[in-house]
């Protein structure tokens, strides 16, 4: 197991929340734990299908596990920022956590939406997520300034937009860059990231995205995606790396940045298996039984 997940039962959302609350207790006082826990419980209800008017999450890549992983990664970044004496208000940090929880809620379907899965909303999920968090925040008494800040932070996770930078001096953009970093690291440091890309391919197909000839073509082109993400995160990479190193040193007495190490390991392994067997790299991806599940649902991988 990767060190970033070593001490937390990532498959259990309640364990993730417990760790996050412990970490937030070490951050600056004033973070609104009530708002954080309420948003977290709302997201669990939405993704599990117990929230009135909504179905359970129907996407296998953009699922609840991704949301809770992003939430924990951001919590760790915020803790590291506090340790590094970054000046971020407790209110802004609270809002960033709510933004992280809702950043992919645009994939969720209402009860009346019975056609296909939420993957069909891939190209519009950011706007839908902003609408979802805005409705939630209004019901919970957030201010209109809060809504604007939430929207700006979620907008930073849109890969079609210019990346937000930590050095811009604008709080929503700074925290938006951290949400974006947490979102990408949570995906790409996952121990089964390469396997889960096969689910992502089918989400793209349902959304009408034709950038890939096949699931195997997506795997091959993922090496280029790594390069693109390196460029996207470059303006913030040095700072976020410092934050994560500070967090893991204080919380677990671990040196380094386990997220970056896990991402680099995944990249190296993908390069290796493509060099070894470019025609059928999926033969070398056997974590969590994902390949078998993809083939059961969608047919033979090619």
**Crossing angle (nearest 10°) for helices 90-102 and 144-155:** 60
- Under DSSP, the state recorded for 163 is P
Return the pLDDT at 1: 42
* CA–CA separation, 167 and 174 (whole Å): 7
* CA–CA separation, 167 and 54 (whole Å): 39
* CA–CA separation, 57 and 133 (whole Å): 16
**Crossing angle (nearest 10°) for helices 258-276 and 215-252:** 150
- Which residues are CB-contacts of 73 (< 8 A; sequence separation ≥ 6)? 4, 181, 182, 183, 185, 186, 259
Query: Which pLDDT band, with edges at 50, 70 and 90, does 172 fall under?
Result: confident
* CA–CA separation, 156 and 55 (whole Å): 26
Q: What is the pLDDT of residues 208-226, one digit of tens each?
A: 999 999 999 999 999 999 9
Exposed / middle / buried, residue 155 (Cβ in 10 Å: 0-12, 13-18, 19+): buried
* CA–CA separation, 122 and 108 (whole Å): 11
Does residue 231 carry a pLDDT above 70?
A: yes
Q: What are phi and psi of 110, to 5 degrees?
A: -75, 170
Return the pLDDT at 4: 58
Does residue 260 carry a pLDDT above 50?
A: yes
Q: What is the pLDDT of residues 57-66, one digit of tens each?
A: 999 999 999 9
**Polymer length of the chain:** 302
Q: What are phi and psi of 209, to 5 degrees?
A: -85, 120
Query: Which pLDDT band, with edges at 50, 70 and 90, does 284 fall under?
Result: very high
CB count within 10 Å of CB 278 equals 11
* CA–CA separation, 203 and 218 (whole Å): 12
Q: What is the mean pLDDT of residues 263-279?
A: 96
Structure tokens at 188: 């790409």
* CA–CA separation, 153 and 100 (whole Å): 8
Does residue 228 carry a pLDDT above 90?
A: yes
Return the pLDDT at 280: 94
Could you give all domains of the chain from N- to C-terminal order, each with its CATH number?
3-298 (1.10.1300)
Return the pLDDT at 54: 98
Percent of all residues in the chain with a pLDDT value above 90, rounded to a whole number: 89
* CA–CA separation, 104 and 100 (whole Å): 8
237: closest CA among 191, 180, 285?
A: 180
Helix, strand, or coil here: 254?
A: coil
CA–CA–CA angle 83, 101, 244 (5° rounding): 25
247: closest CA among 239, 40, 13, 29?
A: 239
């Amino acid at each position: 197991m990767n060190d970033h997940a070593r001490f937390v039962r990532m498959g259990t959302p309640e364990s993730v929340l417990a760790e996050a609350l412990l970490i937030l207790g070490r951050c600056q006082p004033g973070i609104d734990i009530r708002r954080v826990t309420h948003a977290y419980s709302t997201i669990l209800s939405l993704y599990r299908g117990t929230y009135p008017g909504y179905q359970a999450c129907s996407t296998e890549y953009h699922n609840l596990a991704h949301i809770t992983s992003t939430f924990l990664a951001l919590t760790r970044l915020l803790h590291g920022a506090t340790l590094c004496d970054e000046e971020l208000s407790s209110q802004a940090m609270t809002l960033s956590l709510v933004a992280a929880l809702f950043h992919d809620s645009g994939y969720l379907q209402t009860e009346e939406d019975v056609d296909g899965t939420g993957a069909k909303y891939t190209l519009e999920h950011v706007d839908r997520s902003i609408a979802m968090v805005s409705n939630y925040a209004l019901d919970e008494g957030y201010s209109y300034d809060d809504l604007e800040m939430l929207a700006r932070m979620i907008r930073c996770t849109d890969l079609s937009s210019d990346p937000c930078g930590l050095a811009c001096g604008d709080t929503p953009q700074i925290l938006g860059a951290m949400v974006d970093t947490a979102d990408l690291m949570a995906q790409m440091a996952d121990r089964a990231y390469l396997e889960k890309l096969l689910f992502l391919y089918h989400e793209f197909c349902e959304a009408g995205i034709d950038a890939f000839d096949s699931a195997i073509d997506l795997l091959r082109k993922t090496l280029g995606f790594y390069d693109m993400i390196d460029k996207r995160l470059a303006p913030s990479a040095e700072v976020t790396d410092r934050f994560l190193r500070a967090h893991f040193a204080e919380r677990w007495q671990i040196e380094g940045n386990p997220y970056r190490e896990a991402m680099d390991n995944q990249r190296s392994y993908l390069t290796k298996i493509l060099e070894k067997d470019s025609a059928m790299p999926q033969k070398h991806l056997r974590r969590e039984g994902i390949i078998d599940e993809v083939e059961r649902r969608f047919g033979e991988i090619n």
